[in-house]
Structure 1
């Protein structure tokens, strides 16, 4: 039997993508992985309550004004024997040094079809506002590996979502989450868990 991959999910806010991951695990959609840890960089994030509701350890390590933030993160991940990191609405930028310790072990969900509306400054509602301002008719979401360039890692999965004439940034954000993000992130996480489980079982 393959060793299960231990997953840490990083969040900053409500954790709707985290909930999609947790529900996927409960329903058997992640047979080679287990969500072992949820980390928030903001105090009082509802995502930590979601973790608690599923019996998953939730830890807050504030990033604002914390010069030792990444060192604390790394120590926690090592102590919990984490294999993979999933960024699920995580708004802190991880340094190249931190990312370099986790080659092809960190994935992120971005609310556009990369390379459109991505990179530095594009996050949350700003992405959807930019799409509406540009007048595109299709947007979507992308799951990609994380490297030292914001939204620059290899693309794993994408899904398109139609933009409607009466959309606002908030209605578009909700539909992209429902139709793309909550579908893609569990799929990509499950795939990466399986790949890593097979490598670990072979001693790679």
Structure 2
């Protein structure tokens, strides 16, 4: 059974997609052991509690320094003994020590087809604003392992979404969530839970 810890900063729509997948049996061999947020008002915490999942807030604002926060954050993460950490809209810089400890065991969802519109400064609506400004016809989402860079880890799954006439960043964001993010994040977790994802030379290999 894959023990999954989800880290999230906001509403938790991707978290909900994961919860729904586990409860519906489309994500197999998986249990969500906890949810951590850096925002005590994050609705994601309420989503977790509603489904009987342990939930807590650990915020950098509550610590004297970032180093102290990083140490405490890693201790709390380790307490859940996760096999996989899922960053589902988690707007906190992950400590290098944690990336090293959970190499190829931490995944992130990004609302673009990496390497387009990714890296420092590209998050949330900013991604969709940039895509519309550039005039691309296809956008999408990417699930990837986390490494020391920003959105640079090995790619696991990607799904494309068409841009439509009249799209605003908000409308496009919603479509990317519904048609891509909420589908490939649960799928990636299921693949990992069933031992179908390996990393070779910085690239993922997915077994049938």
TM-score by length of structure 1 reads 0.91
How far apart are 1:65 and its partner, in Å?
Answer: 6.0
How far apart are 1:73 and its partner, in Å?
Answer: 2.1
SS of residue in 1 equivalent to 2:183: helix
Q: Distance between the aligned counterparts of 2:69 and 2:188, measured in 1?
A: 27
Q: Pick one of 47, 51, 60 that aligns with 1:50.
A: 47
Q: Pick one of 36, 41, 51 that aligns with 2:38.
A: 41
Runs of 4+ in 1 over 3 A off after TM superposition: none
Listed one character per residue, the Cα deviations across residues 121-173 of structure 1 (whole Å, up to 9, x for unaligned) are: 10000000000000000000000000000100000000000001100000000
Greater relative contact order, per chain length (Cα 8 Å cut-off, separation 6+): 1
**Do residues 25 (structure 1) and 38 (structure 2) align?**
no
Q: Distance between the aligned counterparts of 1:178 and 1:70, measured in 2?
A: 33
The answer to whether the Cα contact below 8 Å between 2:28 and 2:190 also exists between their aligned partners in 1 is: yes
**Do residues 61 (structure 1) and 84 (structure 2) align?**
no
Aligned counterpart, 1:84: 84
Give 5+ residue unaligned stretches, structure 2. 197-208
Q: Distance between the aligned counterparts of 1:70 and 1:105, measured in 2?
A: 18
The answer to whether the Cα contact below 8 Å between 1:42 and 1:63 also exists between their aligned partners in 2 is: no
TM-score by length of structure 2 reads 0.90
Map residues 101-120 of structure 1 onto 2, 5 A cutoff.
101-120=101-120
Q: Distance between the aligned counterparts of 2:29 and 2:125, measured in 1?
A: 33
Of stretches 78-87 and 57-66 in structure 1, the one that deviates more from structure 2 is: 57-66
Give 5+ residue unaligned stretches, structure 1. 197-204
SS of residue in 2 equivalent to 1:160: strand
SS of residue in 2 equivalent to 1:119: coil
SS of residue in 2 equivalent to 1:191: helix
The answer to whether the Cα contact below 8 Å between 1:113 and 1:158 also exists between their aligned partners in 2 is: yes
Q: How many residues align?
A: 193
